[in-house]
Structures are given as C-alpha cells and as structure tokens.
Structure 1
C-alpha cells in the first residue's frame, strides 16, 4: 500500500520477510517492518515514513547526522535505519555506543557501514538533545 498506492518509495522492498529492516516505518510510535504489516492492520493508526520526517530543504536532525557521519554507502538501507534510529532515540535520547548498536540491530546494512551508522545514531542523539534545549 505504501509504495504502490501512496507513492512512498522511501519504504524499501528487500527481504519481504521482516528480517532486514529496510522497510522500517513507525506505526503508532513503534518501529515495524512494513513488509509484514497488512494495510488493514495500520487502519486508524499513525504511520510515519522517511518522507514525513524531513524535507530536502529542512532535514530532520537524524537525517543531518547520517550525512555528517557518512552513515551509509549505497544508501539502500538508510531510510529504514533512520526510522529505526528515530524510534530508538524517542525511547532513549542519550544512549551509549553499545546501546546505539543494539538499538539499530534489527536493521541490516549490506555494505557493512555499521561503525558509521552507530556514529550517526550518537550524533543524532546529541543534535536532538541540543534542539530540545534551545526550544
């Protein structure tokens, strides 16, 4: 539904089994793999995809952190990682490096950019904390 009917192509199609995390979206504040969620299961719920997080002209702090830390190589998995990062940081705004690695462990990067992804999560956490203090 997200890709075919709503044209939300940031939701990637990869494993179709809920294993890789490339299709991660946030459903009522919880990260889910969209490939195993039926449209009717999402009815009446809030669905947040990468398209709803920021814009090209106004990046979300998590998106900016991934760019700054080079938290991607081919970028196929990046939307899923960013959405998983958002859900994780909503629950744990000041993670340790180990907690950050565990927080994104449901997502797979074929390129092996994990050290940069973890740095991205930590940078995003810092940016979000700073943003919260300036509001």
Structure 2
C-alpha cells in the first residue's frame, strides 16, 4: 500500500469517529498506534520537505543573481566589443589613408628626383612645387 492509499484509509477510518472526551477544547479519540506513528512520520517528512524547499528557493535565488550578473557582464563586454570594432574600423581607414599619402609622397619624390637628374630651366621651381606638395600631403 502506498502513502496515498494509507492516508485515504486513515481518513475513512477516523472521519466519522466522535471524541469520547474533551480536554481544553480538544476532542480525544482512540487511534491505532501504527496510524499515529505513521502520521507523525508523514508530518516529519513534510517538515523536511518544506526545509528542502526553502533551501532550494535560496539556491534558485543565488543562481538567479549569478545569471543576472553574468548577463550584465555579457552586455558590458558586448559594448566593449562594439567599441573596439568601431575603433579597429577607424584605424584601418586611417591606415589606408596614410598608405595612400605615403604612395603619393613616394611618387612625388620620385618625380622630383627625375627632375633633378634632368636639370634644365625651371627645375628649381618645379622641385620646390613638388616638395611643397609632399609636405602638404603628409600633414
């Protein structure tokens, strides 16, 4: 017989029993000692289960707080990642711009050297213009 069947049997047996005596407004009835012991055991089990439930509720609360902290950390790291990604993108753009400037400066320097090698009228002013252009582009 399982616990539910046993409890139903006790309920049926004692539901209609009338107290044979009263003590401080408490009705006294005759009860099988095995039923009494079993009911006490069940009450103790209920108390243990209630204590376990309280403990589990505390555990759930602790895990909930841990989860919440982890989610906040994830959000913080995602924001840092987004920021770092934006910085990386901007640095890559800046690097490409600098590479273009360096390439242009090399071309201007090469052209200047060619002018110096060839010489001739206006070489000085042409060299000056090209060098000023290089300086302006590398600012």
Higher relative contact order (CA 8 A, sep 6+): 1
Q: Which structure has the highest helix share of the two?
A: 2
- Please indicate, yes or no, whether the TM-score normalized by the shorter chain is above 0.5: no
